Amino acid sequence: MKYEIIHINRFDYETPVDQSMNSIRLEPKTDECQRLLVYHTEITPHSLTSHYTDIWGNTVESFYIAEPHTHLEVKTTSVVSIQRSPFVDQLTYSKAMQDIFSSQLFRDQYLPFLSQTNYTYLEPHQVTNVKNEIGDIQNPVQFAKSLMNYLYAHFTYDSNSTNVNTTAREAIELKSGVCQDIAHTMIGVLRAQGIPARYVSGYLYVGEDSALVGDAASHAWVEFMAPGIGWISLDPTNNVEALENHIRVGVGRDYGDVSPVQGVYRGGNQNLDVSVSVTLLDS
C-alpha cells in the first residue's frame, strides 16, 4: 500500500506573538515494514528546521520564529509505502518465550516500557477489575489480545469526553475517550502485568465503507514486546492488529514523548486547528 499524508496544524493567536520556539514529530518512520518515500515541511511564517533523533528513535524537527506573527501553520506532506502481513494470531507461545519473559535480563532491557507514567498509571483496583473480567491468562500474547478485546467492548469512542491531558485512570472510569486514552489504558494494564508496552503515534487510513475510527487527526495504538519475537502492534480503538493501513510516525512511553507539535511562545492565548488527510495512491 502506498499513501500520501497531508497534515496541517494551524495556530491562531489572540495577540501577536513576537517569537516562538517549536519542535515537531511528524516524519513517518522507515522500518522493516514501512518505507518513507517523500517528506517535506512547509512553515508559515517561513522558517528553516534543524533535525535530530530523540532517545526513542523518532525524528524531531525544531524551528524558531523571531518575527511577530498572529498565525502559525505547519504543513507536512509524506508519501509512505507499507507492506505488513497479519502476525499476532499466528504466534505460538513457547516455553522458551516464557523463560525469556520471566528473566531479569528481559525486564532490565525493557525497563522504560515497564515503568508507569502519569498518563499510563492505573490504580491497583482498576487493574484488578480488568484482570477479573479478562480472566487469569499467563501467556502475555494472549493477554494482550484479550485486553484489546475488552477495551474495545467497554470503551465508547467519544472525542468530546476527554482532552489531551486526560490520564488512563480518568479514562477508565469514564469508559470513553479517543485513541490516545484507550492506548494509555491498555499500556497501563500491560505494564502492570510486567509486559513491556509503548505508545505509537501515526496515521490511519480508513477508506470507504470501513468501520475503523480515528482518522480525523493523528491516530494512536500500542506495541507490546513478545519475548523472543519483537514488538507487536495492536489497535485497541478498532480491535485489530495494526497492519497496512496504520502508518507509524513515533514511539515512546506515552503521548508526551511523541506529541506532534510542541513549543513555547510569548503572546496571548491560542487556538489550534488540525487537519489530516490520508489518500491511498497505490494498493
| pTM of the predicted model as reported, rounded to 2 decimal places | 0.95
The pLDDT confidence band at residue 209, using thresholds 50, 70 and 90, is: low
**For position 214, what pLDDT does the model report?**
73
**For position 19, what pLDDT does the model report?**
86
Same fold, 2-82+259-282 and 88-258: no
Residue carrying the nine cell digits 482532552:
163
**Is a pLDDT exceeding 70 seen at residue 55?**
yes
CATH of domain 2-82+259-282: 2.60.40.2250
List pLDDT tens digits, range 148-207: 999 999 999 998 999 999 999 999 999 999 999 999 999 999 999 999 999 999 999 988
Q: 88-258 has which fold?
A: C8orf32 fold (3.10.620)
List pLDDT tens digits, range 230-253: 999 999 999 999 999 999 999 999
Binning the chain into helix, strand and coil, the percentages to the nearest 5 are 25, 40, 35
In terms of C-beta density within 10 A (0-12 exposed, 13-18 middle, 19 or more buried), how is residue 75 classed?
A: middle
**Is a pLDDT exceeding 70 seen at residue 272?**
yes
Domain ranges of the chain: 2-82+259-282, 88-258
